[in-house]
Structure 1
Amino acid sequence: MADPARRPLSELREGETVQATITGHQPWGLTAELNEYEAVGASLDIMRRGSEPGVQRFVQELPPVGGIVDLVVGEVRTWHREPGIWVDLTAPGHGRA
């Protein structure tokens, strides 16, 4: 059952800034939980998005696991596990993430 305090995944939009908690560091980037939305898989693939200016700055001050940061929804993709989508994140293009 969906948490009524969280927004439904149908409201996620590419380009939207979201508040996320870092849940893990991976060799390719990091995983995160979107704080305001229903549970969904989310990650920032630094290997793939590393040339983006915001990501370059973000990596220089990589937040610790448990850190809360503002990230941007880069793409909402279908995925093979429930709830059936994965959120590909990127860093804001200017300012601090």
Structure 2
Amino acid sequence: MDRFETKSFALMPGQRVEAKVVSHHPWGVLVEIAGHEDDGLSASIDMIELFASRTGSHEELLALFPPVGSRVEAVVQRISRWHPPVSVRLSIRAADLEALTWPCDFCGERTTLSPGGDALVLDSRSNNGPGSHTLVVHRQCLATRIHPQNSGERARALKIGEAQAPFV
């Protein structure tokens, strides 16, 4: 991985994607994300994590696995860029497709990553070498952690992602 791998930055938690099922495994399926087939990403759907608590038997769980070669609508649940290859975990649960929530890395309460939600995704990188780390936070949690004298950055944390009025 280059010092700042950039292809995977086009993906972020909460984003809806289309994926093609490549293979089945005991825990779930490997997929290719449409538009990112040649980006060197490892993408998967952990069917046990998503559905095991809602199914009565192993056979019932296996019946939920999408067929190899099929295309599925999914939402990016998390991305690991800590070391190569970049690993992307997807969800196909209907509730997650509607509104993906995830625990805030600051307060631990759930925050909504889907469009219109209250989450921000922070990617941290170092000048010293490769890899990055993604944090999911409430915008309010981030704003309250920015030094009070830096009011411009606090205000931007509360507004980022909102539609801006066109410049006239």
* TM score, norm. by length of structure 2: 0.42
| Matched position secondary structure for 1:50 | helix
What is residue 49 of structure 1 aligned with on the other side?
50
The 1:62–1:34 alpha-carbon spacing in structure 2 relative to 1, beyond 3 Å, is: same
Higher-helix-fraction structure: 2
Q: Which moved more, 1:37-46 or 1:25-34?
A: 37-46
Unaligned runs of 5+ in 2: 1-6, 55-61, 98-168
Q: How many pairs are equivalent?
A: 82
Q: Is the 8 A contact 1:33 1:39 kept in 2?
A: no
What is residue 92 of structure 2 aligned with on the other side?
91
* Bigger radius of gyration: 2
Q: CA deviation at 1:35?
A: 1.1
Q: Is the 8 A contact 2:74 2:90 kept in 1?
A: yes
Higher-strand-fraction structure: 1
Q: Is the 8 A contact 1:52 1:93 kept in 2?
A: no
What is residue 20 of structure 1 aligned with on the other side?
19
The 1:35–1:61 alpha-carbon spacing in structure 2 relative to 1, beyond 3 Å, is: same
| Matched position secondary structure for 1:32 | strand
Q: Which moved more, 1:8-17 or 1:23-32?
A: 8-17
RMSD: 2.6
What is residue 76 of structure 1 aligned with on the other side?
79
What is residue 66 of structure 1 aligned with on the other side?
69
CA distance in 1, matches of 2:82, 2:67: 26
The aligned amino acid for 2:15 is E
CA distance in 2, matches of 1:70, 1:52: 22
| Matched position secondary structure for 1:48 | helix
The 1:10–1:50 alpha-carbon spacing in structure 2 relative to 1, beyond 3 Å, is: same
Q: Which has the higher contact order (CA 8 A, sep 6+)?
A: 1
Q: Report Cα offsets for 1:43-89 as digits up to 9, x if no partner.
A: 01112222688xxxxx75432111111111000013543xx310011
Unaligned runs of 5+ in 1: 1-7, 54-58
CA distance in 2, matches of 1:63, 1:21: 9
The aligned amino acid for 1:16 is Q
- Percent sequence identity over aligned pairs: 28
CA distance in 2, matches of 1:17, 1:52: 24
